[in-house]
Amino acid sequence: MKLVTLHIPEQYVEGLERLVENNLYPNRSDAIRIAIRDLLKRELWG
């Protein structure tokens, strides 16, 4: 895997942390990876 650094709004970080706290994802990185995967599936790989 490659490391990607990005700046996102604080409310996105808070939302990611809520997803992790609610045990929907094991950590923020996995939540972001899954969100990107789903976007690529929908937009490119349909």
pTM: 0.88
Is residue 32 within 8 A of residue 16, CB to CB? The reply is: yes
One-letter amino acid of 22: N
pLDDT tens for 1-41 read: 999 999 999 999 999 999 999 999 999 999 999 999 999 99
Is residue 9 within 8 A of residue 16, CB to CB? The reply is: no
Is residue 34 within 8 A of residue 20, CB to CB? The reply is: no
The predicted pLDDT at position 46 comes to: 85
Is residue 17 within 8 A of residue 29, CB to CB? The reply is: no
